[in-house]
Each structure stands twice: as structure tokens, then as C-alpha cells.
Amino acid sequence: MTNLFVPFLSWMRARKQHQEPLGEKELEALRQRFRARHHNFKLLLSGNNEALEHIGRLEDLARGVRPFGGQAVRAAAARITTLAYRSIKHLEAITGERQTTLRERFDAIRGEVDAILAPHHAKDNVLPGPRILTMDAVTKQDVDQVGPKMARLGEARNVLGMQVPDGFVITAAACEEFMAASGLREEINRRMQAKSDELTSRMTLALELQALVLESPLPPALETAICEACEGLAQRLGAAPRLVVRSSALGEDQTGASFAGQHRSAVNVSVDSLTRVYKEVVASTYSLEAISYRLTKGIPEESAVMCVGVLQMVEPEAGGVAYSRDPLGVRADSALVYSVFGLPKQIVDGADAADFIALDRESGDVLEHDIAAKHQRTVCFEDEGVCREELDPSLASRSSIDLATAKQIFDLVMRLERHFGEPQDMEWAGTDDGAIVVLQSRPLPAAIDREVSAFELELPLPDSRRELQPLSESEPHRELGRGIAASPGVAAGPVHRIEREADMLTMPAGAVIVVKRPLPRFAPALAEASAIVAEEGGAAGHLASVARELDKPALFGMVDAMRRLTPGDEVTVDADSMVLLDGRVEERLTRTAPRTNLMRGSAVHTMLLAVMPHIVRLTLLDPQSDAFAARNCQTMHDIFRFCHERALLAMFDFGEDTPFPERAARLLAGGKSSQFKVIDLGDSFHDKTHNNTVRVEDIDSLPFQAFWRGMTAVPWAGPPAVETKGLASIFHEALLNTNLEPSMPSAYAVQNYFMVARDFMSAQSRFGFHFATVEALVGERTRENYISFRFAGGAADQHRRESRAALVASLLDDLGFDTVRNFDAVRARMDNRRAETMVSRLAALGFLTMHTRQLDMVMGSDGAVESYRQSLSSHLAEIAS
């Protein structure tokens, strides 16, 4: 045994004696290396936390509780991709190794994401075609060139034989020619991608884009084609016409997306003004109303193409709208006709009261006839435009149409419903010769569509800002606590506490998991659980993501849940109301509050659902598993998880494997500090002199001061009394040698180092035959805070060393650390805690580092272990508080 010990001491002496002295440049280079490593790790942590926020945002969008556009999905995905690439770069800077496999996985995942999110620009959806189509040639087969609005009018005119104004359509091909001529499409798409979905951003964007369109000249060939079409219309009518210019965007006037009133239309336009008005209608594609509407309906912005109908102006005696079915569902068996004197613009604008007639859908019999008190009518100016004028008092109380006309309108709208196979909203005009002219026909927006549009009123999100739903009188159940909704829903089951992985093995199916911290390693239990409750955590965490993917209600941030909830007791988790209730509350479980996903089925929502498996899903759950490898990263979330774990390990190992030359540090001045040296990684020394010493009070480092407080809080009583005999007595004598006490100068002790910054500390302490390594980042940003700890070594036999390691691990478990013990070594970690908590735990680690050394010599019996446990626990409780 002596022959083993003496060479060990010789090795320690030789290690010090043969350390090559470094010059000032080499010392500064080493300091810079430490600082760069610390800086890269902080950047990696910050990027990881930002990425989790974006991932959580994508999950919120998928629930469709508020509208979003394609640019929101692409912007979040682009930011996540950028952050993932940066995480890889930071990991390489920390480890000093190129992450070739991880880069390959990143490139593959990025390719999958880009393939899904690549904008399908409007020009990709537009078939080649003529610039102009006359109305006598348009049917619903031409919808891709003239838009749904004009296609339906052409169908009514040319297939159903209804009276529809003559005219022509400036087609989608013409629009794309205009957009391409000045590079408008590329510039518009670029600006759209740069803007957010916030209202203020949309407003600015709308003004910019409309100005771009209005300021761009029409291609000469297109302008010539429009002029020739006007001449052709004049020849057919026998006079220069006055015109109605109507929007007919691709996707407009379809079921569930009517765009009613969202685009520009102009009435009584002269031929000379047509090209200007045409550009105004095209520009209205990017009005605030149209952009907001597409956002609400999940219609991709880049798919917007404006076709424009140019029709002969009709000056009616009366006009209005007709519905083949009551859009509110109040009169389920009725068709409705609304009418006013003059142009129907007053009705569609909501400018004045209108006469109302309800007719039976089957017989056409008049069921109701309400004559409104009308005061104005809209008429055409003689030259151009329209105006409102006072209505002759003699007409105010008269019906604008008679019942025979109403029946005629009824017949038309019902024919349109039968032809198109769905209820119709028809705009009409009645001429002085008794004819009814169809001006427009589109699918009737159902009542539910209007309810969906109410989400523009900023309904509350399902998170901690919501009001707690009170218990009703029929719910006599006791409230057990409140928390944060990390995953929505309501579920019930028996309480099952999980502290370690082994506890998952005894979990009954359908249990409500209760944990202190929502660690990703508990994810396997979620598949069989009904819900999860955690004392800590939030919606951006890894386990919260898994809970949402599995549709398991999750209530996090419920203080003291582990202590207060009894295993086996039935509870109800109402994450929607953010409350935990005693017992099984059937009223909550059977409540069918529908979750309206207003984006479901839209192109944007479909795109989001397609890309989420490549970004949001987390498959790397267990860092201890052999499968936790770069080659197995399937998503961006996996890449962040892998980089985070590997960076922590690399940071931890860095200090242990790096020799610290004495000239790279300053000696802690005085007393028991004399065996500790400090390397300043930033601006943490108050003492700016170039002395080779520094006082503890002159070190401005929050984690260092906390750790040092714990190290010095309780004086060390010295090595414990050991009863070993024989050869082991040599070790006993060595351990009693004051040269091995850290407060005494010694040729045998390996120096102890601190690397410090204002919010960072890395400590390597080696006392005798054991060592401890502590690293901590503590600041105001809770999600970046962490503590890593490693303890190993000893001079006793394996059993005693393992007993001491088990004691240390148990004490750390009690303090809330995530611990792993491997024989006589202990690793522990704590993340994402507030600064006050981290400070108290660092103080506890300082105490343990000092007071558990050499305990391996007395760990021979259970009684001794328990005695030291009680003594250490008592001190720890006082220090940690």
C-alpha cells in the first residue's frame, strides 16, 4: 500500500515542478480562451431559450386560437433554423471539435423544412392565357383566369341565360404580366416576409405595397389590350360605355372566403380612367383589409392574384341583394330579398335602411314584407362616380319593389343555388323596363363564418393571463391549487408522484403524474398518464412540448404539489381553467366547450402542420442513452437538445482537463484562502492593481460569493476519527498530515482554482485524494441559470467511497438537484431556477465540498452514514435558507 501512496505524492510534486512557465502573452491567450468558452456557452444558452419560445409560438399557432399568416410560420421557422446553426457553431467553439455528423443532420432537416415552406408564388399558380376575355366567352371553367366572381357571372350569363352586363375581364395572366414588368412580385414577397402579423406592422406594409403598385407603369402591351377591349365593348353597345370595375381575385368569392368588401370596386368609371382604376383595384390586393382577411382565413399572401371585371354600368330604379337561405339561420325555410331605391351600394355599404321581403323557399310565397323608412338613394354622377341624394319624401314609406319583382328575384337566386349546389348571395339591379340584372353571385357565408371572424377582436390566449373559472354550486369539490396551463385540456386520475425514473415503472394507467420539475426524461410516462402536474416549469419547456403533442393536460407552476398531493387520491386537472380540483369532477370532464380552430383547413394551417414534425417534435429524450447521438437528430428541437447537453458536458470537463498555470491566476489573500487561486474571465475584480493576490471581498461574482459563503460558513472539524489498522494506517497518517489541509501551505496539495465572471463561476478543488468541480451561471434570466457539480475520488476502499457518494447524492436530491451516481462519483445539475434559489444551492454545494471530504474513511457502517447525514442535513437546511 505504501508503494502505491508514495508514487502518487511524487506524481503530484512532479506535476507542479515540470509545469512549463508561461510568458505574459501565453497567459493572456489562456485567459482569452476561458473567456471565449464562457461567452460561447452563454450565447448557446440564450439561443436555446429563444428557440424554445419560437417552438412554443408555433404550437400556439397550430391551435388556431388567433389568425396568422404564412409569413409568421416562415419567420419562426427561419429564426429557429438560424439559432440551430448558431448552436452548432457555439458547441464547436466550446469543444474545439467540428460537429460533422450534426452538421449533416442539420442540413438534411433544413432541406425538409425549406421544401415545405418554399413560397408557392402566384405566378406558379397562373396558367398562361390571354390578357383579356370578353364576358360572352366566360364560364366557370375559366376560373383560373378570371377569378371565381367573374366566372360565376359568366356562368349565369352564358349557361343559365340570365341577364348579366356585357363587358370583359382583365385576366390573371395580365396581372402577372403587370407584376413582372416592374419586379413587383419579388419586392412584394420580400417585404411581406420581413413583416410580422401585428396590426401596426400590417398597416405599414399595406401602405408600402399599395404605393408600389400605384407607382408602377402598366406594360404597353397590356395597356393597349385594355384600350382595344373598351373599343370592342363600345362597338357592341353602340356608344362609349360607363363602366363598373369589379375585383375578382383568385380565391375570392369562394365558400368560406368571400372577401366581401375587402377589395376595391369602382362604379360609374369613364373609359379614360380605366387604366388608373385598374391599378387601384390591383393595389387593393394589399389593402389593410385584404391582408387582414387573408391572415384570418389562412390564405397565403404570395398566392394573391387580382383579376378585374370591367362591365357595362347599369342605372337601376331599385337594387339590392338576395339570399337563397337565411344566413343567420333564424328563418331556416326562407329566402330573403333586400331592396332600396337606386344603386344597391347603399345596402352593401350599410348606409341606409332597406326594405325586406321573406319568401318560402319551397313555394315562393311571401312570408314577411317589411317596408323601411328610407331617406337616401345612391345615383350616378353625370360624368363619373356616384353620390347619395335625399329621397323624395313620397317614396320614403313606399316599397322599393313590388311583390311580383320580389318573386322574380327569388326565382333567380334559387336557380343559382341549384346550379352551383350551395346557398347563394346575389346582388341585383332592377331596370326601368322591369328586367332584373344579376350583378354578382357568390356562396352565402354561413353564420359560423361570421362567428369565426370575431377572433379579430383579440380573444384571450389559453395561458396564465386567463381568468380562473369559478366552481359552480353543483361542484362541491375542494380546490387544491392553481398553476399555469402548459398544455390545454381537462382530465382526471389517481395521483402518482415521480421523483426518479424508477417511479415510472409503478405508475398505473390513467394516473395524474405529479413531479417537482417537468424533466424531459419523464416523457415516457406521459403516454400512459391522463395528465401531469409540476411544481415548476412553464409552457416553453421540453416536457410541455411533449404534453401538447400527446394532447395531455399539463398544469405547471403548482407550488408544493409533491408534498400536498397524496398518492392514490383522485384529482381533476383543469388546465383550461388553470386549477387542480379534489376528486373526479364529472361536470368539468364532460363539459364540451368547443375549441374553435379558425385556421383549420386553410392553406397556411396545412403548411404549418406539415412543417411542425421537422421542427417541434422532440425525439432525443434521455442523455444517458446510447441513442442520444448526433446521428439520431430528427428535428430542429433535437439539435437544440443535443447541443445543450453536449455543451454542458464539455464545459464541465474543460476545467478538469485544462492545467491552470499559477501565473494565470491571482492568489486569494489571507488565512484559509491561501490555497485558492482565481482567474478573472471578465471585469469581476474590484482591485485593479496588478498584485498577485486578491481579497474575497474584491471579487464581484454572484456565484463565487455564494459558493465561498457555504465553504466558510461552518469551520471544518478536521479529518474524522478513523479506526483502521495495519497498512491502512499509512493512509490515516497521511490524511492527518496538516500539509493536506487546504488552509495550510503544502507541497502535496494540488492547487484549487476559481474562474469567475460577474454571473459565472467554475471551481476546481482537489483536497487530498478527492476532487470536486462546480460550475454555475446565475443571473436575472432564469432560463439561462444552471449549476453543474461533480464529486469523486477518495482514499478508502471501494465500498466506503461508494457509501460517501450515495450520501452526497442523497443530500443533493433533497436540495432539488438532478443527480446521477456512478460507483464513487456523483454528477448533479440544476437549471432554470431563479437567482435566489441558485445562490442558496451554491452555498450548500460550498458546504458539502468542504465537509464531505475524507468521510469515505468512516463510511463502514449504516449507523455512521446516518449520523453524518443528520449532521450535514441540519447544517445544509440552515445554509440553504
Stated as kind and residue range, the H or E segment containing 819 is: strand 818-822
Instruction: For cell 494540488, name the residue.
Output: 750
772 CB-contact burial (10 Å; exposed 0-12 / middle 13-18 / buried 19+): buried
Distance CA 163, CA 153 (A): 10
CA 131 and chain centroid, separation: 43
Give the number of other Cβ atoms within 10 Å of residue 451's Cβ: 11
Assign domain 479-584 to a CATH class.
alpha beta
**Closest alpha carbon to 77 in 117, 121, 119:** 117
**Closest alpha carbon to 284 in 300, 262, 269:** 262
Domain boundaries, given as residue ranges, for the chain: 30-118+612-651, 127-312, 318-453, 479-584, 663-880
The pLDDT tens digits for 689-714 are 667 788 888 899 999 999 999 888 88
Is the fold of 127-312 the same as that of 318-453? no
The pLDDT tens digits for 184-214 are 888 887 787 666 666 667 778 888 888 999 9
> What pLDDT does 459 receive?
26
What's the topology of domain 127-312? Dna Ligase; domain 1 (3.30.1490)
Distance CA 532, CA 542 (A): 13
Q: What is the 8-class DSSP label of residue 721? A: P
Which residues have a Cβ under 8 Å from the Cβ of 257 and sit 6 or more positions away?
251, 297, 299
> What pLDDT does 125 receive?
54
Instruction: For cell 421523483, name the residue.
Output: 499
> What pLDDT does 533 receive?
95
**Closest alpha carbon to 575 in 549, 547, 598:** 547
> What pLDDT does 174 receive?
92
Distance CA 248, CA 130 (A): 16
Distance CA 859, CA 148 (A): 84
User: Coil, strand, or helix at residue 239?
Assistant: coil
Strands 570-574 and 490-498: antiparallel
Sheet holding 355-360, edge to edge: 366-370, 355-360, 334-341, 318-323, 424-430, 436-443
**Closest alpha carbon to 67 in 305, 340, 405, 296:** 296
Distance CA 645, CA 624 (A): 10
DSSP3 helix / strand / coil % (the chain, rounded to 5) = 45, 20, 35
> What pLDDT does 718 receive?
55
Q: Which residues of the chain have pLDDT under 50?
A: 1-19, 255-258, 446-471, 473, 592-595, 655-657, 660-662, 673, 723-750
> HEC states along 195-206?
CCCCHHHHHHHH
Which residues have a Cβ under 8 Å from the Cβ of 415 and sit 6 or more positions away?
160, 162
Which amino acid appears at position 50 of this protein? E
Distance CA 35, CA 682 (A): 7
Kindly write down the DSSP assignment for every residue of 426-449, as one continuous string.
EEEEE-TTS-EEEEEEEEPPPHHH
CATH architecture entry for 318-453? 2-Layer Sandwich (3.30)
Half-sphere exposure of 267 (CA within 13 A, CB side): 16
Kindly write down the DSSP assignment for every residue of 680-729, as one continuous string.
ESSS-BS--S--SEE-GGGB--HHHHHHHHHHHHS----SPP----TTHH
> What pLDDT does 447 receive?
35
